[in-house]
Structure 1
Amino acid sequence: MIKDSFIFFSLFIFLFFGCSPEDKVFESTIPFKSLNSDQTGIDFSNSLEYKTQLNIIEYLYYYNGGGVAVGDINNDGLEDIYFSANLLPDRLYLNQGGLKFVDITIESGIKIENSWSNGVNFEDVNLDGFLDIYVTKVSPISSNKSHNLLYINNGDLTFTEMSSEFGLDFSGFSTQATFFDYDRDGDLDMYLLNHAIHTVRSYGTSEKRIESDALSGDKFYENRLNEIEGKFIDVTKKANIYDSPLGYGLAITTTDINDDGWMDIYIGNDFHENDYIYINNKDKTFAESVKKTLSHSTHFTMGVDIADLNSDGRQDIFTTDMMPYDPKIFLKSGGEDEDQVSRIKKEFGFEPQFARNHFHLNRGDGTFSEIALLTKTYATDWSWGVLLQDFDSDGLNDIFITNGIAKRPNDLDYINYLSNVDFTQYNNSRQDEIKKKLIDEMPTLKIPNILFKNLGDLEFEDINKSFVGKPSYSNGAAYSDLDNDGDLDIVLNNLNSNSTILENLSNNKNNSYISLNLKGDKNYAVTRGAKINIFSGEKYWIRENIVTRGFQSSSSHKIYFGLGNISKIDSIVVRWSDGVFQTEKNIDVNQELVINKKSVAKNTIVFDKNPSEFSLNILPFKHKENGFYDYERERLIPERLSYEGPAGVVADFNNDGIEDVFIGGARYQSAKIFLGSKGLNFTPLKIPDFIRDSKYEDVDAATIDIDNDGDLDIYVVSGGSDLKELDENLMDRLYINNGNGSFSRLPISLPLTNGSSVSVYDYNNDGYQDLFIGSRSIPGSYGLSPYSFILKNTKKNSFEIIMKERFGMITDSQWADIDGDLNVDLVMVGDWMPIMILLNKGNDNFVDATDQLGLLQTNGLWNTVLVDDINSDGKIDILAGNAGSNFKWKPDKEKPVKIYLDDYDENLQLDPIIFYDFFGAYVPFASKDKLDKQLPYLKKKFPKYINFSKVNNIKSLTGKSEDKILETNSIYELRSILFINDGEKFIGKPLPKEAQFSSIEDFFFNKGDDSELFYVGNFHQYVTELGASSANPGGVLSDWGHEIENFNTSKFLPLPISLNARKILPVGENNFFVLTNDDYIYVISRD
C-alpha cells in the first residue's frame, strides 16, 4: 500500500512543474477590521494534524481546506454561517445581529461526525421558502460510510438529513455543488463537482474524457421531485457532461456566458485537464466549448468567480492559480510546464494552460480576452477562493483572493530531496516513519490574502499589505452584509487557525448602494440565475443572482450593488430565470429592497449580441508550419522565431482590373496565387516555379517592377531558424511576371540571410525600384544582429549592395520621406532595438537619425511598422506594433529588460541570459533548470534553488560584471505606440488599451474623413514562462481625437480568439485578407 502511495505522491509532486498585528483596523482605501472569536462568538477552526492513515501522501488534496456558506436560514433578515471541516465536525452559526453569532450545530440537527467535508451550499432545494444545506464529502477517505448530505430546513432552526430520499447521497470524491434551473421548468437542478485522484486512469489523451469514473467523475442531476420519480435523477450522460477520471474539479460557478437567457456552467480543473465551459443548448443538453471561448486557461485552477470588472455590462471570468509574487519564492517554485511537455499535451488534445491567475474579459461575442498580465492580477501565490464584488461601494467590482497552503509540495528543493530518498532502506515496519519524515520536510509558509481595488479602466491597485493582516492559510471565503450596515463583510475558513470575519468599515461615507432581495411569485427557483441591470443616468450595473462562487463556498443571497456617488436609481430591470422581464423605476438608494416577481406576460426577449459590422469567410488555403522547435536548440530564448509566415501581397497580377493575392508557404509548402474575379471570388493558379521552390520558407513578399515593363513581379524573402547561417535555402527569390499572372524565377544572386522584411521604393529617384532587405536573426545565435541590406536596382534585372549593416533584429521596415526633403528615408523596427530611422542624404548616403528624432530609448519587441500622416497635420507619423502590455515583462526606462550575450562557459557558443523586473527585483528569465543545462557550472555554484533564488543581477549569476559582458541590449517599451511627428522629433502616444491586449503583427490605415486603423495580432510562440499572447487577434480603432492625439473608439474584429494573425491586406472595397500562421486565410467583409 505504501509503495503505491509513494508512486502516486511522486506523480502528484512532479505534475506541478511537468505537469502584522492581530485584530486591528487595516488602513487602506477599503478599511476592514479582523474580528476575533471573543467579539463574534465564532470559535471554529478547521484543524488538521498528521495522521498515519490519512495525510497528503494518501490524499493529494489533504491541505485544500474547507468551505463556508452564508444564508438566512430562519428568514429574520440576517445571514447565518456554515463552516465545513475536514477532520472535525462542521459548524452552523446563527447570526444574532451586531456581528454576534451563536453555535447551533447540535440543536439544529447537523451531524457531529468527522467525515471529510469540502463544499457547502445554502439553497432552498425543496422550494418551501426556507434555505436547506448541501454538504459535499470526500467519502473514500472517511472511516465511516459517508456520503454527501442534504439537510432539509424544518422551518424551526432544525434540519433533517434527507440526501437519500432526494437522490443526492453521492459517495465519492466531491468538491462542491451548485443548484440552478438548467431547463427552466421552475425547479433547481444540481451539478456535482467531483475530483480525480492520481491513478493510472487519470493520465492519457483528452479522448479519455468520454470514459466514466464512478467515484471522481462529475455528476449532473435533474430535479424530478414533482414528477413520477419524486427525486433528483442522474442525467450526466444525457446532458453531455464529462464524468471521466481526467477531471480534477476544484472550482464551479454558473452564469449566462452567451447572454441567451439560459444558464451555462464554468468548471475549473486542476492539473493537466482543461477547464470546461458548458454552454446550455436549451434542450436539456450542454456543449463543452472552452476551446471556442477561451484562448487558454489556468493550469491549476482552484477558484472561480464571474462578474463585470470593467463596467461594460458584460460578465467577466476570474480564476485563481498558484504563481508566487515574492521573487524568492517564485524562483524556487515549480509551476509552468516545460516547453516540450506543453507541446506533448497539445498533441494529446489538451488546450494551452498557464500557471497563473486568469482574467477573462468578455468581448461580447461569446469569446474572452485573457488580460491578467495587463491588469497585474496574475500572481497572488497559492490562491484558492476569488470573490468579485464592490467592497467600497464605488460602483466598481474589486477582487478578493484567499491564500496559503500548509505544505508546499511544489518547492523545487523539496522535489529534489524527494527524488533522492532511498525508499529501500525503510522496511514495512518503518512506513509511518518515512511518511512523516517526507511530510515534515515539506516547506510551509503562510501568505496574506489579497485585495485588488478596482480603479476603473482595467487598472487595479494591490492593497493587500495594508488591510489583510497577518498571513494565514485561508481557503473558503464568502461575502455578506452580516450586520446590515450597507457594506459587504467577508467570512474566511482558515486552516489550523480560527475562522475570520473581516468587518467592512466603509459605511458608505461617500458612496451609495442598494441590496436586492428577489422573491419569486410562487417559486424560489425563478430567482436563481436572474440577471439584474441598474440604470442611473449614463451609468449602469449588472449582476446575476448566483451564490456558488470562489472555492468550496457560497456567498450572500442578497444581490448587492455599490453605486458610487449617485443619489437616485432611474430603473432596475430584472430578467428572471424563466425569461420574464420586470422593471422597477425611481428607486431610492441606500436600502435593502425586496422585489417580488409580478405575474406579467412573458416578454419577447431581445438580446443585444453586439452584432459585428463585419462578416467572416475563409479562403481555401491553409498555411502549414514545418514544426521546428527553436527552444530545443537554444534553451534560453524567449520565443520561437521559426513561426513567422505567411507572406502575402494583394495586387492585380494579370492586369484585368481586379485584385489578386499571393500567399507564401512554409517550408515544404508551395506558395499560391489566387486570381480574383467579380464578387470576391478567387481561383488558384498553378505556378511550376513555386512548386519547385517549396523547400524555401516564405516570410515576407512585395511587388516590384524590376524591369519596368508595366507588370508586377514578386520579391520573396526566405527565412528559417531551423537552418544554419548561409544555408542555400535562405536565398531570397524574385519571380518575373509574364504579363498574364504567371511567374518564373529570375536566376540572379540575392542576399543569403535569415530574412524577415522587404520594402520596395525608388530611393534614388532614377526611375527603377530599389529594395531594403531586413534580417531578424542568425540561426542558433539569438540576440546577435544579422546583416541587413539596401539593394540598388542596376536596371539590368539585378541589384547592387550599397549598404550591408547589422542594424538589429529587424522584423519590419518601410520607406517614407520623414524629413520632407523629397528623398525617401528608411524606418526599421525589430527585437531588442529602437524605432530606427536612416535619413537619405542622396548619393547612396544614409545617416542614422534615431537619436536626434527622439527615438533612442524606444527598444521593444517591435513586430510591424506603418508610416503615414495619421493625424492629418501634413507630417509623417509612425505606428509601431509591439508585444503589448498584456505581458509578463513590465519594462520602462528605469527598469528595462536586459539581455546579456557572452560565452560564459567558453564552449564557443553564445548564451543569451535575460533579466527582468519581477515585482521589484531583477530576476533571471530562464529557470535554474534551463540555465543548468545551458551552463553546467552553475549547478555547482547554485546547488539548491534557495541559493538560486537570491540571484538579482548578471554578476551574482555568472560572476561577470555587466561592463565585461560581450554584448548587452535592453527593452524599454512593450506597448504598441503611435509616434506623432511634431516637426522636430517624435512623441510617443500608446494606442488604446484594447490594442495592448496582445501583440500587434500588422496594421492597415484606412485614411479619409473618418480614418480607421485596422490591426491584427496574437503570437503563440513565446516559451511557457511568458505564455501565449492570444487575447486579441485583431481590431479597429477610429474616431480620431485631436485633443488627445489618439483614437477614441475601439472595436474587436470577429476573428477566432486564438488566431495567430500575421498580416491584414485590403482587397477591393471594404474587404480584407487576414493571413494567419499555421491556419487558414480569413476574408473579412464589411456588411
Structure 2
Amino acid sequence: MKSLFHFTACVLACLTLLSSASGADLLSIIKDRQEKESSTWRQESLAQEHEEAFIRLWDELRNTDTPISVLQAFSFNAIKLGELSDAVSLNHGIESRAIGHATRSLPQQQWNSWLGQLQTLGYSLYQSEWHHKQFDEKPGGQNESIFSFSLHVEHKTSQLRLIADGRIKVLWLKEKNNKGIFVPDTIEVTELEILQRKGQPLFKRLGAFDIASQKRGPVLVHDLDGDGRSEIILPAANQIAWNNPETEYSLKPFTSVIVNAARSAILGDFDADGYTDMIVEGSIYPNENSPLASGLFLFQGTNKGTFLEMPKLIDAGSNLIIQGDTTMSCGDIDGDGDLDLWIGHYKLPYDGGAMPTPYYDANDGYPSFLLINEGNGLRFTESAATRGLKEKLHRRVFSGSFVDYDNDLDLDLLMVSDFSGVDLFRNKGDGHFEDVTAEAIEERSSFGMGHSFGDFNHDGFLDMYVIGMSSTTAGRLHQMGLAPQDFDDLTNMRIPMTYGNRLYYSQGDGTFKQPKVNDQVARTGWSWGVVTVDFDNDGNLDFYVANGHDSNTTSKDYCTSYWTDDIYRGSSLKSPLFDKYFSEKLGIKEDNGVSWNGFEHNFLFMHMSDGSTRNLSFLAGVALENDSRMVIADDVNMDGKLDLIIDSNPPNWNPQTQGNVLEVYLNQMPSTGNFIGVRLQDKAGAPSSTAAKIVISTGGQIQAAANVNGDSYESQHAASKHFGIGDNDQVDYIEVTWINGSKKRIDNPAVNQYHLIEY
C-alpha cells in the first residue's frame, strides 16, 4: 500500500538519528511488515487497491456542490438493476420500497442520462457512505467486491427526504486505467431499500453552544432550580446553560475559580443535605495567582440550585493517582445512606509504544478506583482491591454504572471497557463484589464505549444496550480467510470483538442473553454515546447512537493497518522502539489526511409498524456527519417528547486549537402517543434517588427504568424518567422503589404530564 511505502521511506530517512542497534531493530520490523504485506496480507493489499475508486468517489461527493456530476463522472461499463416494489406505509408518513432481482442492464451513458433527469427534477445527494465488505480474487477471471452504501437524498421544494441503503456487487476490469486505479466493469445492485418521507424532519435544530478549544468535557443535565426543566452543565467550560421557559438558554459560570480541566463530572447529593452537588475530576486554579491543583473537587449545592463559589478538594487518599481519562458513577453500595463513587480509568493505546494486550481482553491499563464515602462527601476511602474488584482493576474503562440488575436491593457494578467488553460484578449485600461475568453475560466481547439501560421487552427487568465498534476491515479479512500463523487467538476474536453493539435482555434470574433483534441494531460504526428512549411515545424504546472516530481529509481508512499490523506489534509494556514505530505510522496517517472510521453518520433506530427496527436518522434530521461523542435525551421544552443534545467536531479537528459544538435538536414528530413522566428529587434525611427504580403499569403491561448514572459517554441524564404509552389514556400506577427497599406508589396518575415523587 502507498501509505506503507511512504512510511518505510520516512523511517529509513530517520535511521541516522537513532543508534545503530535501535535503527536495525526498527528496520527489522519494517522488513517484516513488508514481507507480510506481500505474503500473508497480499490479497488485502489487492482489495485496498481496488477500493480506491470508491474512496475517491466518496471523497469527491463530500467536497462538491454538484454531486450528480460526480456520480456521472464515475467510470464503469454497465449497471444492473431490478424493479422497485410498491410502497409499503410505515410510521410517521414513511414509505418503504425494495428492489428486486436485477432484470435490466444500463450502460453508463443511459445511467448518466437518468441521473441528469433526477437533477433536473430537483433531487440532490446530501450525504453518502461506502464500505468495502468483501473481496474475491479470481485468477484468470474478474475480481469481485461487495460494497455496502447509504445515500441520503433531498428534494427540497417538496420537503422530501430519502434514505437508500443497499449493497452492490462489483466486477472489476483486469487492468488499471490511465490514472493508475482499478475501475468497475459492471455494478449489480443486489440489495436496496428506499425509505422516504415528506415534511419537516422529525427533529429541528434549536441551536448550538460553541465550546472553546481544550474545553470539551462531560455534559450533565439536571433540573437545578426545581422548575421541571433541565439545565445543561458544562464543567470543563465553567458554564451552566439555564433553561428559561420564555427565552433561549442563558449561559452563566458556576464558579469563580479557573477550571483548567474537567475529565469527568457527576451530580448527586454527596453531603446528604438534600441539595444537588457536583464532583469534578480534573484541575483548577483557585485564583489567578494560585498554583494548579489537581484531584477530585466537590462543588456543594445550595437551596437556589447553584453551587458554592469555591469548591473543596476531596481527600481520597494517596492511592488516587489519575493518569488518563476517567468516567464516574455514584450510588450507595454499602447501605450506609451516602453516595459512594466509582472512577473508571482509561489508558490510550500506542502510549509509549505499549498496546492493549491482548486486544480482546486487555487488563493492562491504569487502575480504576472504588471510593467509599465517609459521610460528608469530602473524605473517601479507596477500597477497590479489598472489595472484590482487584482482578479486573486495570481494564481500559469507558463507562460504568452502579445498578441493581438482580433486584435484590443493593447496587451492583456494570463496567464497559475498550479492548475487552462487558464485566458484571454482583454486590454481595455489604458493598463487596463478586465477578459474575462468565455466568451472567452471553458473549461479553466488544470494543466497549458506553451503555444504556431500559426495559426493552416490557417484563419489568432492566435490560442493557452496550455500545461497541463494528469493523468492515475485520469482516473482510475473515471473509478472505487471511491471518498470520501462530496467532490463532487474535484471529478467532476478530469477529466477536467487531460485532458492534450488543443488546442484552435480562432473563429475570441474574443472567443476560442477546435476542435475535440484536442484529438489527448492532452495526453502527465506531460508536460512542447512546440513548435508549421512546421518541414517539409508542411504548417501545428507540435507539440513538453517536458515531465517528477520526474523520480527516480522505475517507481512506487506517483500519486495515490496525488489523494487519498493529495488533501483532508491541505488548502491554512501554517500548521506545515501538513508540518510534507507531509514532511514525500515525504521523504519516495524519500527514496524508487518512481517517479512522471517518465520516460515519449517527443512527436513529426506531420501531416500525411492520415489526422491524429501521435507521431513520436522515429522515429525522439527525444523521450528523461530523464525529460525534456525547448524546443526551431530555424533554427540553416539556412538551412530552424527548429531544436530543449532541456534541460533535468537524473533520481534521485539532482539539488544541479548535473548539467543538453542542447542539440541541427538538423532537417535532407530528404524531406521537401519550406519555407519563416521573421526576425524582432528593431531600435531607432520605435515601438518595440515585439508582431508584421506577415501574409503571398500563393495562397490565409493565415498563421499568432506573435512575442510574455513568452510562453513555461523558454524560449524565436528568433525574427523571419518561414513558411512552401509545394510545392508552390511563395508567394503572407508578411505583418508585428506593435502594433501601422503601416504595411509593401512585394509583391512576394523570397522563401526559410529569409527576414529582419524593421519598
Above 0.5 in TM-score? yes
For residue 522 of structure 1, report the CA deviation from its aligned partner: 3.6
SS of corresponding position for 1:541: strand
Q: Give the equivalent residue in structure 1 for 2:203.
A: 32
Residue 317 (structure 2) pairs with residue 150 (structure 1): no
Instruction: Give yes or no for the alignment of 1:241 onto 2:389.
Output: yes
Mapping of residues 309-388 of structure 1, within 5 Å: 309-323=456-470, 331=476, 343-344=488-489, 353-371=497-515, 374-388=518-532
**Of 113, 118, 129, the match for 2:263:** 118
CA distance in 2, matches of 1:573, 1:462: 33
Report the equivalent of 2:703: 541
SS of aligned partner of 2:299 = strand
1:173 maps to which residue?
Answer: 324
- Give the superposition deviation at 1:170: 5.2
Cα distance in 1, alignment partners of residues 386 and 627 from structure 2: 40
- Aligned partner (choices 645, 655, 662) of residue 491 of structure 1: 645
Deviation per residue, 1:283-332 (Å, 9 max, x gap): 220111111111212421111111111222222111112215xx799759
Report Cα offsets for 1:862-909 as digits up to 9, x if no partner.
xxxxxxxxxxxxxxxxxxxxxxxxxxxxxxxxxxxxxxxxxxxxxxxx
CA shift, 1:277, in A, is 0.5
Aligned to 2:210: 43
Distance in 2 (alpha carbons) for counterparts of 1:589 and 1:127 = 32
In structure 1, distance between residues paired with 2:480 and 2:393: 22
Q: What is residue 599 of structure 2 aligned with on the other side?
A: 446
> Which entry has the higher C-alpha Rg, 1 or 2?
1
3-state SS in 2 of match to 1:465: helix
Root mean square deviation, CA, Å: 4.6
For the Cα contact (< 8 Å) 2:536–2:672, is it kept in 1? no
Cα distance per residue 1:396-440 (max 9 Å; x no partner): 111110011225874216887999xxxxxx9x9999998754423
**Inter-partner Cα distance in structure 2 for 1:310 and 1:449:** 24
The residue type paired with residue 238 of structure 1 is: T
2:375 alignment partner in structure 1: 225
More helix by share: 2
CA distance in 2 between partners of 1:261 and 1:490 (Å): 32
Is the aligned partner of 1:267 residue 2:429?
A: no
Instruction: Decide whether the 8 Å contact of 2:160 with 2:198 is kept in 1.
Output: no
Does 126-135 or 351-360 show the bigger shift?
351-360
Matched, 1:563 2:725: yes
Considering Cα pairs closer than 8 Å and 6+ residues apart, tell me whether 1 or 2 has the greater RCO.
Answer: 2
Q: Is the 8 A contact 2:527 2:546 kept in 1?
A: yes
2:242 to 89, 94, 97: 94
The superposition leaves residues 147-203 of structure 1 with CA deviations (integer Å, 9 ceiling, x where unpaired) of 344322344534445452353975332321011111222111111110134465953
Q: Give the alignment partner of residue 612 of structure 2, picking from 456, 459, 462.
A: 459
Give the letter for the 2:509 counterpart.
D
Post-superposition shift, 1:484? Answer: 1.3
1:184 to 335, 354, 373: 335
SS at the partner of 1:278?
A: strand
Out of 472, 475, 485, which is 2:626 matched to? 472
Matched, 1:203 2:352: no
Q: What corresponds to 1:392 in structure 2? A: 536
Instruction: Give the 3-state SS of the residue equivalent to 2:313 in structure 1.
Output: helix
Name the CA shift for 1:287/1:472 in 2 (closer, same or farther; >3 Å).
same
Q: Which residue of 1 aligns with 2:755?
A: 593
CA 1:206–1:450: 2 relative to 1, 3 Å: closer
Q: In structure 2, how many angstroms separate the alpha carbons of the residues matched to 1:586 and 1:413? A: 59
Whole-Å separation in 2 of the counterparts to 1:521 and 1:538: 32
The 5-angstrom pairing of residues 722-801 of structure 1 reads: none
Matches of 1:494 and 1:563, distance apart in 2: 32
Instruction: Letter of the 2:599 partner, please give it.
Output: K
Counterpart Cα distance in 2 of 1:128 and 1:194: 29
Q: Given that residues 473 and 494 in structure 1 are in contact (C-alpha distance below 8 angstroms), is that contact kept between their aligned partners in structure 2?
A: yes
Q: 2:716 aligns with which of 543, 554, 558?
A: 554
CA distance, structure 2, for counterparts of residue 370 and residue 578 of structure 1 = 30
* Partner Cα separation in structure 2 for residue 247 and residue 431 of structure 1: 22
- The whole-number CA distance in structure 2 between the counterparts of 1:122 and 1:321 is 26
Q: What SS does structure 2 have at the residue aligned with 1:406?
A: coil
Provide the residue aligned with 2:225 in structure 1. Answer: 74
Residue 550 of structure 2: aligned partner: 406
- The answer as to whether partners of 2:373 and 2:380 remain within 8 angstroms in 1 is yes
What is the aligned partner in structure 1 of residue 179 from structure 2? none
Distance 2:586 2:712 in 1: 32
Residue 664 of structure 2 aligns to which amino acid in structure 1? I
Deviation (angstroms), 1:457: 9.8
Distance 1:299 1:103 in 2: 38
**Contact kept in structure 1, 2:633 and 2:644, CA below 8 Å:** yes
**1:103 is aligned with what amino acid?**
L
Q: CA deviation at 1:354?
A: 4.2
Structure 1 residue 361 displacement after superposition: 1.7
Shift in CA distance, 284/374, structure 1 to aligned 2, threshold 3 Å: closer
Take 2:580 and 2:449, find their aligned partners in 1: how far apart are those partners? 37
CA distance in 1, matches of 2:404, 2:488: 33
2:507 and 2:486 map into 1 onto residues whose CA distance is 31
Contact 1:25–1:32 (8 Å) recurs in 2: no
TM-score (norm 1): 0.45
Whether the 8 Å CA contact 2:326–2:344 is kept in 1: the answer is: yes
The offset of 1:270, in angstroms, is: 0.8
1:506 to 2:669 alignment: yes
Question: What SS does the corresponding residue of 2:400 show, helix, strand or coil?
Answer: strand
Using the TM superposition, give the Cα deviation of residue 567 of structure 1 relative to its aligned residue in structure 2, in angstroms: 1.1
Q: Is the 8 A contact 1:67 1:477 kept in 2?
A: no
Contact 1:376–1:460 (8 Å) recurs in 2: yes
Q: CA deviation at 1:220?
A: 0.4
Task: From the superposition, tell whether residues 299 and 386 of structure 1 become closer, same or farther in structure 2 (CA, over 3 Å).
Answer: same
1:467-511 per-residue CA deviation (whole Å, 9 max, x = no partner) reads: 21441111011111111111111111212442111111137x541
Deviations 1:731-757 (A, max 9, x none): xxxxxxxxxxxxxxxxxxxxxxxxxxx
Give the AA of the match of 1:447.
Answer: E
- Tell me, in whole angstroms, the C-alpha distance in 2 between the residues paired with 1:336 and 1:297: 24
CA distance change for structure 1 residues 412 and 166 in 2, over 3 Å: closer, same or farther?
same
Q: Shift of residue 338 of structure 1?
A: 5.8
Q: Which runs of 5+ in 1 are unaligned?
A: 49-64, 420-425, 598-1087
Percent of pairs identical after alignment?
20
- 1:164 maps to 313
Identify the match of residue 194 of structure 1 among 338, 345, 356: 345
Please give the alpha-carbon distance, in whole angstroms, between the structure 1 residues aligned to 2:412 and 2:481: 29
Q: Which residue is 2:405 aligned to? A: 257
Q: Which residue of 1 aligns with 2:274?
A: 129
Q: SS of the counterpart of 2:735?
A: strand
Structure 1 residues 343-365: Cα deviation after superposition (integer angstroms, max 9, x where no partner): 536999x9964441111122222
- The AA in structure 2 aligned to 1:504 is N
CA 1:305 to 1:594, structure 2 compared with 1: closer, same or farther past 3 Å? same
Partners in 2 of 1:138 and 1:299 — Cα distance?
Answer: 32
Counterpart-to-counterpart distance in 2, 1:441 and 1:178: 40
Normalised by the length of structure 2, the TM-score is: 0.62
- Quickly say closer, same or farther: Cα 1:205–1:564, change in 2 above 3 A: closer
CA contact 1:300–1:355 (8 Å) conserved in 2: no
Give the C-alpha shift of residue 566 in structure 1: 1.2
- Inter-partner Cα distance in structure 1 for 2:263 and 2:482: 28
- How far has the Cα of 1:230 moved from its partner? 6.0
